[in-house]
Structure 1
Amino acid sequence: MTVIDTLPRAETQQPMEPPAKPRTPTARQRLAELHELRDGVRQGLDPKATERQHAKGKLTARERIGLLLDDDSFQEVQPLRRHRATGFGMENKRPHSDGVVTGWGTVYGRTVFVYAHDFRIFGGALGEAHAAKIHKIMDMALSAGAPLVSLNDGAGARIQEGVTALAGYGGIFQRNTRASGVIPQISVMLGPCAGGAAYSPALTDFVFMVRETSQMFITGPDVVKAVTGEEISQNGLGGADVHAGTSGVAHFVYDDEVTCLEEVRYLLSMLPSNNRELPPSATPADAPDRRTETLLDLVPAEPTHPYDVREVIAEIADGGELFEVHSAWAANVVCALVRLDGHVTGVIANQPIATAGVLDIRASEKAARFIQFCDAFNIPLVTLVDVPGFLPGTDQEHGGIIRHGAKLLYAYCNATVPRVSVILRKAYGGAYIVMDSCSIGADVTYAWPTNEIAVMGAEGAANVIFRRQIAEADDPAVMRARMVKEYQAELMHPYYAAERGLVDDVIDPAETRAALIGALAMLRSKHSDLPARKHGNPPM
């Protein structure tokens, strides 16, 4: 008898069945699962959250992207990304996309990268995974050499993730800075943007805002009240009109998201994809040699009479179209993008209907920033000059008009794109030099026959030069009038600057458009090298 025979036996032995073979889902099943996940992402995890978003007059992240990009062109990146944070109630809340939608598509057929905060998920707050998605899309935009548009609607850093959320913002700021002057960066504010999050839009080239629904501030109304005792609403503190007209943070403001996003598309249509390309040209809306007879009536010969320089720009531009930047801020200077013979051009012009077109702190900053952008992205510059000088006053001097005015001077002197200026009427003092005069590097300078270029106006000059003669005269008023006429005849006649080579030609105002187009065509192949250096040190 063997050992095996002595072992107890079951009274009834059941036949053994082999273990079931694990079933691998078919490719079709996996695909169906993927579609369910993607559909869940696109529809939003909480239908009520979508309703709440719409009730505020706001669109969802994907609805906004759909309006921004060409139809069916959006390619999403990492739609299934989820956060890995645990604790503080986050372990059971891990929705796909993690509150930000990222990807690329096209605008008028050209590639554009985009990220959009999804306020329905964690209020659009930024966490580690959320930030990583934004970092990736920013890196892709820079590598591909394509514009980046951010659709901002978020509650700031995700408190539950602590310092990792703050580090995520640091990565965004670093990439904003690295991409500056390399690809166009546009921030569209479609909801709240508070605290450190507001610095990313401030680092980009253009900021769009929507009235009533978008706000930007470093410290909110509650903090302001606690520290200063001042009570103020969110819109009163950092609403669209505040940033458009008071702080200068916002370049464009609109009443609704649909119009805002359509205008973003229009701006993109005028910009190159990166700093290695020229702006896209278009079929001219009218003839390059079109005469601008209307200008003779638009601009009064009398130097103190006001007019709207935007009408001058519209008369010169293709189809009368101009896209004004910062229209509500520093109104005494106008900055606009236009097309001349189909080619995008940046225009800077003094505005006589706003404080007589003088240069002040805000106007200097506004124009300098616009010039730097145009120069970075190969957009030629046209300057229309009608400036009585810098604004006098203790508030300007104490506010640093010397330093801020130097920003405008630096921007012009540093610009290597084609630069053409036209002196429409008066150009006095240091403001004449700063407004892209021949002496600081304008390639071509034209003047109308009504121009007056001088250190100051004739009245002021006569009072300084002929002070003694006027004081000793039997009739000081008559003597002053005679000295004013003498100064005007000798030093302020329209051809004085041309005789000394400070103006290249005195032109008929009706030929302004043709002259500008001809000069810019000649300069299109301009090449200008700056001295070898890491970077300049502009007056900040």
Structure 2
Amino acid sequence: MSETKKSLAELQALIADSAARTRLTYLFDEGKFTELDAFVGEAAGVITAYGYADGEPVYAFSQDVSVKSGAMTEAGARKIAKIYDLAAKTGTPVVGIYDSYGADVNDSAAALRAYGELMLWTANLSGVVPQIAVVAGVCSGTAALLAEAADFVVMAKDASLYAAPNAKSNGSAENAAANGTVCAVCDDDKAAVEKARAILLKLPANNLSPVPVYEYEEPAAAAGSDIESLTKAVFDADSVIELSEGFGGAAYTALATVNGETVGVAATNKTKDKLTENDCAKLARFVRTCDAFAVPVVTFVDTEGFAGNDETEAAGAVKSMSKLAHAYAEATTAKISVVTGKAYGAAYIALAGKGANADAAYALPTAVISALDPITAAEFLEHDKLTGATDLAAARQALADEFAKTQASAANAAVNGLVDGIVDASQLRSAVVDALAMMSGKRISRLPKKHSNIQL
């Protein structure tokens, strides 16, 4: 038999079970999928397939590290490009499972062409269909750039993700979670693929499809304004998937459902700290992702504003604030904001301001909404009352407390049109449900342009 002709048995032997194939079974319903181009390029190093996740179609590819260390070859790139092409034609999400040591060094020119084509595909499909990357093993060099171009990146804790080797971190999952490169770290490749599936099921099939709707259970009643209590009280029971937990400590992002329909959840009150550049980046990226697929965003605001320490200023605080404000202002999806605690100055404008951002804004009765921190406002407005005080700090705090209860109160904010209403915590779910229903038919057009120029 010639080198170019093989028997069916020999071809079938080439597609024997592998880790790459097993990982695909974790993604699809009942572990079943249809492989594409199974016999094209026996050393392609990647398996491409389509199947269903909870009854919805999904395209996927899984790199096979057992073949040439998963090296990206021209044949492998053609297989992946075909997946992207089909996804574009059908409006179907793509899941990529990465496990490769890089390009095929035996033909570096072909590898460069291949990676260039795939980068173009991921960029063109960005915001059209959801793309989720799973880093199951080593993902290095240009492959890391491809993975990071996805809407969400999930990583196994023993995997590696890096553009260039680094002796200190070696692309560890811990490092990737801390710097926001990945949205979740899981115990192993199976858990990582299953997490990707869970995220995928919360998203629309494409930018023209409505958000998915599921059966749901009412949430358990919960009191309090902390983020854990709020999510338990407002969103459907067991529907919340927190994202990027290890990045941006003061910010919180999650996907959840309200009355069975997907929403994005953003909050600034996770640790009560002021916002840093990481928090701004985390929230901005999340809001833009939700907006790309018309997923409504519910924002809980409780922050004194942006941190002004040396570290934050050195990192470009103004740029970070601008990025966050731009992301909210540009988003045309439905945006519901609730001031659950403090909302001062630029933080109110960026996150809950009706003028630029929120379609509907509410406040809990104890909320404090002010252009300035009450301490600063008291110093400016009531300075004469501080003259001669025996305990200056106590006198200043007393004036600030009075300012918060009067001029910066939720009631005063409502009178001045800064919020649409004041709701008790026990009625917050109903208010959010009604607001989302009211905004379900939202349509808005922006000025014609190629794209906005957000600070990055």
Cα–Cα, structure 1 residues 138 and 481, in superposed 2: closer, same or farther, change >3 Å? closer
Corresponding position of 1:419: 335
CA contact (8 A) 1:331 1:351 kept: no
AA partner of residue 242 (structure 1):
N
Tell whether 2:275 aligns with 1:330.
Answer: no
Q: What SS is found at the alignment partner of 2:312?
A: helix
Once residues 411 and 327 of structure 1 are traced to their aligned partners in structure 2, the CA distance between those partners, rounded to angstroms, is 20
Identity fraction in percent: 31
AA partner of residue 160 (structure 2):
Q
TM-score by length of 1: 0.80
Tell whether 2:209 aligns with 1:264.
Answer: no
Tell whether 2:29 aligns with 1:70.
Answer: yes
Cα–Cα, structure 1 residues 320 and 111, in superposed 2: closer, same or farther, change >3 Å? closer
Tell whether 2:106 aligns with 1:134.
Answer: no
Q: Which of 381, 388, 394 in structure 2 is aligned with 1:465?
A: 381
CA contact (8 A) 2:338 2:352 kept: no
AA partner of residue 13 (structure 2):
G
Once residues 70 and 381 of structure 1 are traced to their aligned partners in structure 2, the CA distance between those partners, rounded to angstroms, is 29
* 1:146-225 → structure 2 map (5 Å cutoff): 146-212=92-158, 214-221=159-166
Q: What SS is found at the alignment partner of 1:188?
A: strand
Corresponding position of 2:13: 40
Unaligned runs of 5+ in 2: none
CA contact (8 A) 1:78 1:97 kept: no
CA contact (8 A) 2:63 2:100 kept: yes
Deviation at residue 468 of structure 1 after TM alignment: 4.9
Tell whether 2:172 aligns with 1:239.
Answer: yes
Unaligned runs of 5+ in 1: 1-29, 45-49, 51-59, 83-95, 222-230, 300-307
* Superposition CA RMSD, Å: 2.0
AA partner of residue 125 (structure 2):
A
Q: Which of 315, 333, 344 in structure 1 is aligned with 2:262?
A: 344
Corresponding position of 1:275: 207
Once residues 477 and 98 of structure 1 are traced to their aligned partners in structure 2, the CA distance between those partners, rounded to angstroms, is 71
CA contact (8 A) 1:291 1:513 kept: no
AA partner of residue 359 (structure 2):
D
AA partner of residue 272 (structure 1):
P
Larger CA Rg, structure 1 vs 2: 1
Deviation at residue 192 of structure 1 after TM alignment: 0.7
Corresponding position of 2:417: 501
Q: What SS is found at the alignment partner of 1:386?
A: strand
Q: What SS is found at the alignment partner of 1:190?
A: strand
CA contact (8 A) 2:269 2:300 kept: no
Q: What SS is found at the alignment partner of 1:115?
A: strand
Deviation at residue 483 of structure 1 after TM alignment: 3.3
AA partner of residue 249 (structure 2):
A
Once residues 424 and 478 of structure 1 are traced to their aligned partners in structure 2, the CA distance between those partners, rounded to angstroms, is 26
Corresponding position of 2:185: 253
Cα–Cα, structure 1 residues 61 and 384, in superposed 2: closer, same or farther, change >3 Å? same
Q: Using the TM superposition, name which of 509-518 and 486-495 deviates more.
A: 486-495
AA partner of residue 246 (structure 2):
A
* 1:390-429 → structure 2 map (5 Å cutoff): 390-429=306-345
Once residues 314 and 250 of structure 2 are traced to their aligned partners in structure 1, the CA distance between those partners, rounded to angstroms, is 20
Deviation at residue 43 of structure 1 after TM alignment: 1.6
Cα–Cα, structure 1 residues 191 and 480, in superposed 2: closer, same or farther, change >3 Å? closer
Corresponding position of 1:9: none
Once residues 154 and 476 of structure 1 are traced to their aligned partners in structure 2, the CA distance between those partners, rounded to angstroms, is 64
CA contact (8 A) 1:447 1:503 kept: yes
Once residues 391 and 177 of structure 2 are traced to their aligned partners in structure 1, the CA distance between those partners, rounded to angstroms, is 52
Q: Using the TM superposition, name which of 179-188 and 528-537 deviates more.
A: 528-537
CA contact (8 A) 2:220 2:233 kept: no
Q: What SS is found at the alignment partner of 1:446?
A: strand
Tell whether 2:280 aligns with 1:364.
Answer: yes
CA contact (8 A) 1:80 1:97 kept: no
Once residues 450 and 202 of structure 2 are traced to their aligned partners in structure 1, the CA distance between those partners, rounded to angstroms, is 30
Once residues 297 and 306 of structure 2 are traced to their aligned partners in structure 1, the CA distance between those partners, rounded to angstroms, is 22
Cα–Cα, structure 1 residues 38 and 508, in superposed 2: closer, same or farther, change >3 Å? same
Cα–Cα, structure 1 residues 489 and 207, in superposed 2: closer, same or farther, change >3 Å? closer
AA partner of residue 258 (structure 2):
L
Deviation at residue 338 of structure 1 after TM alignment: 0.8
Deviation at residue 379 of structure 1 after TM alignment: 0.6
* 1:3-42 → structure 2 map (5 Å cutoff): 33-34=7-8, 36-42=9-15
Cα–Cα, structure 1 residues 149 and 485, in superposed 2: closer, same or farther, change >3 Å? closer
Once residues 352 and 429 of structure 2 are traced to their aligned partners in structure 1, the CA distance between those partners, rounded to angstroms, is 19
Corresponding position of 2:49: 103
Deviation at residue 179 of structure 1 after TM alignment: 0.2
CA contact (8 A) 1:211 1:240 kept: yes
AA partner of residue 63 (structure 2):
H
AA partner of residue 33 (structure 2):
F
AA partner of residue 165 (structure 2):
G
Once residues 401 and 69 of structure 2 are traced to their aligned partners in structure 1, the CA distance between those partners, rounded to angstroms, is 69
Q: When the two structures are aligned, how many residues end up with a matched partner?
A: 452
Q: Using the TM superposition, name which of 402-411 and 179-188 deviates more.
A: 402-411
Deviation at residue 469 of structure 1 after TM alignment: 4.4
CA contact (8 A) 2:378 2:403 kept: yes
CA contact (8 A) 1:314 1:321 kept: no
Q: What SS is found at the alignment partner of 1:438?
A: coil
Once residues 141 and 130 of structure 1 are traced to their aligned partners in structure 2, the CA distance between those partners, rounded to angstroms, is 17
Cα–Cα, structure 1 residues 99 and 537, in superposed 2: closer, same or farther, change >3 Å? same
CA contact (8 A) 2:220 2:237 kept: no
Deviation at residue 459 of structure 1 after TM alignment: 2.3
CA contact (8 A) 1:291 1:510 kept: no
Corresponding position of 2:233: 315
Corresponding position of 2:450: 534
TM-score by length of 2: 0.94
Q: Deviations over 1:73-94 (max 9, x none)?
A: 4121111112xxxxxxxxxxxx
Q: Deviations over 1:204-228 (max 9, x none)?
A: 101010011x10112214xxxxxxx
Once residues 449 and 361 of structure 1 are traced to their aligned partners in structure 2, the CA distance between those partners, rounded to angstroms, is 30
Deviation at residue 172 of structure 1 after TM alignment: 0.8
AA partner of residue 452 (structure 2):
G
